[in-house]
Structure formats: C-alpha cells, structure tokens
C-alpha cells in the first residue's frame, strides 16, 4: 500500500514558520505518517533548508491566485487568493491518502486516526457550519480530481476568493450526505470559538487535538519573551493565550535555533524579544471602569487580567 502523509503549504517565510512548528508538533505527538510541505518560489533558501530538515518532502509549486479581489475584500483578507495553491495537494499521487493542514494549525495530541476517514472529511467552519473549514481535511491525491477542481475554479470561481469556497462548491454534499465525513470540532478547533461558547470550551476544550489560529493575527504576528514565557502585543480573541504560548514554546525552543544556524551572520528576526528593541515601561494598572470600557470596545487583556484562567476562576466562583 502506498504511503500516507500530512501535507501543508507555505508561500512565504512567515507561513513557513507556521509549517515548521506544525511539523514539530506532529513529530512531538509521534505521528507515523510522512510529512510534506508545498512551498512557493518566494520562500527563502534559509527557510527551505530548515523545512528540508523537518519534513520528509519539500515540494516547490506554482502559486495560484484567484485574483478575486471583490470576494476577498468581502472577507477582509485580500491575501487569501494564494490559498488556491493548496489545490496542488491533489497531485501528490505517490501517497494513497493525505491529511491537509493549514500552516497556522498546531497539533496537541496524536491524530493519525484521521487516516481512517475518507475524502472529503473536514470539520464544520465556525462561521458557517453548513460549510466545512478547509484548514484541516482528509483527501485522496488524484490527478483526475485535481483537473476537475481546476476546471471547477475556471467555471465557477470561488465564492470566498480562496480555496474554502472552491472546495465547498466542489464537495457540495458534505453537509448532508455522510456524517462520517464530518470531523469532530476538536480536530480543527479555532480559538475564536472559545470566547463565543466558553462553557462548551470549559467542558470539552481539554479534548482538543488540533488548534487552528484562524484569522488575521497569527502566532508569528506577535513577539515573545522567552525568559518570562509571555507573548507580547495586543492579543486578539482569535488566539487563545495558552495555545499561543504552546506555539511559541515549540517555535522558540525547536525552530529558532535551526533558523539561526541557517542565517549565520545574516540578519534574522525570530520574533523572540532578544532580537527586538526593549519594550516600554509597564502600563499603569487599570480601574475597573476602564477595564469594562475596554471589554466593551473589544479590547480585553487576554494575556493578562482577562486571561482565560481568570475568566474560568470567575465562572467557577459564580457557579458555586
Ligand atoms: N497560505 C500561504 N501564504 C499566504 C496565505 C496562506 O501559504 O500568504 C497558506 C497557509 O498554509 C495558510 C493557508 O494557506 O495556513 C490558509 O490561509 P490562512 O491560514 O491565513 O487562512 P485562515 O485560516 O486564517 O482563514
Ligand atoms: C478559511 C480557511 C482557510 C482557507 C481560507 C480561504 O477561513 O480557514 O483554510 O484557506 O478560508 O478560503
Ligand atoms: Mn488557517
């Protein structure tokens, strides 16, 4: 039987960092599958060298772009046209079955059992659950499916400008045909769901197997203080603090040293605080009225006083 693989995509050095952490997290949880990364021509030689050390296969692909600015603008993510490049994963025909994972996902438990599922299995999108989220999906590489997908793109375009629109159009019976193709949410848990349904997260969050840092702010958009193990910056609700810390712990301990080795004397900013300017003095503590106002403006201090742990304590006290 041909081999099976986890597959991801990185068209630039930022997403390449995500791909490096994703592979480290899969290996940490002892996957027995091959790891494949599709890279675009803009990924630097240094990033590629590191990817070669972590992945079994690094495959250079052409960047496909929907150029569909109208739809992408609607989602406020003009950068997502390039996600059509994901469709190349169907050309990996030397594998019998694969699981695609976005480069902004982190594995927190072994997920090899996903290979028992059939194409196309995926978890519901948290924004529109009748569609699947295309950040994690099981598929069967096939040149025939690949050309049909490209043909579908040409004829119908993508309603969201990215791959998720195309894939949901193509596998359009996903929501109704076969419940075994619905992956449990724990295989693609976007941290945004934590704050929209806190009690569910409290009850089942510990079962999460894959965290998806969906949305504009990615783990690598922040900076990190490795000494204090703290993420700096205005942490948005899409990035749950403890998962964000888990991403940074893996990145700073296992990926950054490999990147520094490749960059040698050339400048390289890892995002860890040693290589950025020291931050300003700590802000003054806020009054409770000021805090309430910040919450109402959607600017909670998720890393500090409004952290999930503190919310949970409050919730526990309230339930008692
Ligand atoms: N991606 C990429 N380069 C880009 C944008 C996206 O390589 O400039 C890839 C990457 O694997 C990423 C996936 O496409 O995880 C989907 O994009 P993203 O995760 O940003 O979308 P979201 O999950 O936030 O909707
Ligand atoms: C999404 C998915 C992502 C996909 C993008 C574009 O929100 O999380 O995986 O690439 O839409 O369709
Ligand atoms: Mn994503």
Given this model, what pLDDT does residue 83 score? Answer: 86
- 18 lies in a domain? yes
- Encoded tokens for 81: 């046209």
Same domain, 9 and 124: yes
Q: Which 8-state DSSP code applies to residue 287?
A: P
- 42 lies in a domain? yes
Given this model, what pLDDT does residue 300 score? Answer: 65
Given this model, what pLDDT does residue 279 score? Answer: 44
Task: Note down the domain range covering 119.
Answer: 3-185
Residue % of the chain over a pLDDT of 70: 82
* pLDDT bucket at 134, cuts 50 / 70 / 90: very high
Same domain, 299 and 175: no
266 C-alpha to ligand 1 centroid (Å): 27
Determine contact, residues 188/212, Cβ cutoff 8 Å: yes
- 88 lies in a domain? yes
Distance CA 109, CA 253 (A): 19
- 156 lies in a domain? yes
Same domain, 178 and 298: no
Q: How many CB atoms lie within 10 A of CB 179?
A: 7
Same domain, 176 and 61: yes
CATH code of the domain containing 17: 3.90.550.10
Given this model, what pLDDT does residue 173 score? Answer: 97
- The neighbouring-strand residues paired with 175 are none
Q: Which of 132, 154, 185 is the last residue of a domain?
A: 185
For a substitution probing ligand 2, which of 74, 164, 169 has the most ligand atoms within 8 Å of its CB? 164
Cα separations in angstroms, 271 against 173, 219, 276, 277:
42, 10, 7, 11
The pocket around ligand 1, CB under 6 angstroms, is made up of 8-12, 15, 79-80, 82-83, 86, 102-104, 135, 214-215
Q: Which of 185, 211, 228 is the last residue of a domain?
A: 185
What's the angle, vertex CA 202, arms to CA 309 and CA 296, rounded to 5? Answer: 60
What integer is the mean pLDDT of 279-308? 58
- 205 lies in a domain? no
306 C-alpha to ligand 3 centroid (Å): 25
Q: Which of 156, 185, 214 is the last residue of a domain?
A: 185
Number of domains, the chain: 2
- 14 lies in a domain? yes
Chain segment 5-44, per-residue pLDDT in tens: 999 999 999 999 999 999 999 999 999 999 999 999 999 9
Chain segment 58-79, per-residue pLDDT in tens: 999 988 877 766 776 766 777 7
- 272 lies in a domain? no
Determine contact, residues 174/113, Cβ cutoff 8 Å: no
- 196 lies in a domain? no
Distance CA 149, CA 139 (A): 13
Same domain, 181 and 51: yes
137 C-alpha to ligand 3 centroid (Å): 12
* pLDDT bucket at 270, cuts 50 / 70 / 90: very high
The chain-wide mean pLDDT, for the chain, equals 87
Same domain, 138 and 22: yes
What integer is the mean pLDDT of 179-201? 90
Distance CA 166, CA 152 (A): 7
Secondary structure E strands in the chain: 3-10, 34-39, 57-60, 95-101, 105-107, 121-124, 132-139, 189-190, 210-212, 223-225, 230-232
Same domain, 17 and 142: yes
Nearest protein CA to atom 4 of ligand 2, as residue: 164
Same domain, 181 and 320: no
Report the chain's terminal Cα–Cα distance, integer Å: 55
User: What pTM was computed for the model?
Assistant: 0.86
What integer is the mean pLDDT of 294-302? 61
257 C-alpha to ligand 2 centroid (Å): 30
């Amino acid at each position: 039987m041909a081999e099976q693989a986890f597959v991801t995509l990185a068209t630039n050095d930022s997403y390449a960092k995500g791909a490096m952490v994703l592979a480290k997290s899969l290996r940490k949880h002892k996957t027995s599958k091959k790891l494949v990364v599709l890279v675009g021509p803009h990924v630097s030689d240094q990033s590629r060298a590191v990817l070669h050390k972590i992945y079994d296969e690094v495959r250079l692909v052409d960047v496909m772009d929907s150029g569909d600015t109208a739809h992408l603008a609607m989602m406020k993510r003009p950068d997502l046209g390039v996600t059509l490049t994901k469709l190349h994963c169907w050309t990996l025909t030397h594998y019998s079955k694969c699981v695609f994972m976005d480069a902004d996902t982190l594995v927190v438990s072994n997920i090899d059992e996903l290979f028992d599922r059939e194409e196309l299995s995926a978890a519901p999108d948290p924004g529109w659950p009748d569609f699947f989220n295309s950040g994690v999906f099981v598929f069967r590489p096939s040149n025939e499916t690949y050309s049909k997908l490209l043909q579908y793109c040409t004829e119908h375009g993508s309603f969201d400008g990215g791959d998720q629109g195309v894939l949901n159009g193509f596998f359009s019976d996903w929501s109704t045909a076969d419940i075994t193709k619905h992956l449990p949410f724990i295989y693609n848990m976007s941290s945004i769901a934590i704050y929209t349904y806190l009690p569910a997260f409290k009850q089942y969050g510990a079962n999460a197997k894959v965290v998806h840092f969906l949305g504009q702010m990615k783990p690598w958009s922040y900076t990190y203080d490795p000494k204090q193990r703290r993420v700096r910056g205005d942490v948005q609700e899409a990035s749950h603090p403890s998962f964000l810390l888990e991403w940074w712990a893996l990145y700073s301990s296992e990926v950054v040293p490999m990147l520094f080795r490749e960059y040698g004397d050339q400048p390289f900013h890892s995002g860890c605080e040693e290589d950025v300017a020291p931050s300003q003095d700590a802000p003054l503590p806020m009054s409770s009225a000021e805090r309430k106002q910040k919450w109402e403006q959607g600017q909670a201090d998720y890393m500090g006083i409004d952290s999930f742990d503190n919310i949970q304590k409050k919730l526990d006290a309230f339930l008692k």
